[in-house]
Amino acid sequence: MPPTAQQRILQVTAMIPRGTVTTYGRVAELAGYFGAARQVGWVLRRQDPADTTIPWHRVVNATGAISMSTGRNGSDWIQRELLLEEGVPVDRSGRLPLRAYLWMPDPLQVLQDLAGD
DNA sequence: TACTTGACATATA
DNA sequence: ATATATGCCAAGT
């Protein structure tokens, strides 16, 4: 069975280094699903906020902010705390200096890692 | 099958 | 800096 989109999205997310962040759109792109940013949000939404096995908190939107929403039942604020713990400065509205903390992986390396499993 | 909903992104005003 | 408008993709109803 070929890996599902969800699996690849989680695999890419798992590669994000501590103390750095990336965007939904970028994760989709690296996973091989350019344009499917919303799907990334959908996948991360069903992760257990308490489970840090996969660093879901290192994914933010393209404006450089945590996507705050009442539907998240507070996981958005948990995300802020987790990022602060890693040294990523997030202000009270959830904004952060994206360009300074953005994960810049070598695309080829990412493909290698995805293939290797 | 058709319509609605979202942890999105980009372009405009 | 905000707000509105489209385009996107998959799941839920």
For residue A43, give the nucleotide whose C1' atom is nearest its CA. B7
pLDDT number for residue A2: 83
Boundaries of domain holding A48: 5-99
Amino acid letter for position A40: V
- Look at residue A76 and give its three-state secondary structure: helix
In a domain, A44, yes or no: yes
CA–CA dist A68, A72 (Å, integer): 8
Looking at residues A45-56, what average pLDDT do you find?
Answer: 96
For chain A, the domain total comes to 1
Give tens-digit pLDDT for A63-96: 999 999 999 999 999 999 999 999 999 999 999 9
CB neighbour list of residue A116: distance below 8 Å, 6 or more residues apart:
none
How distant is C1' of B7 from CA of A26, in Å? 14
CATH number at residue A41: 1.10.10.10
In a domain, A116, yes or no: no
pLDDT number for residue A91: 97
How distant is C1' of B9 from CA of A116, in Å? 30
Looking at residues A9-29, what average pLDDT do you find?
Answer: 98
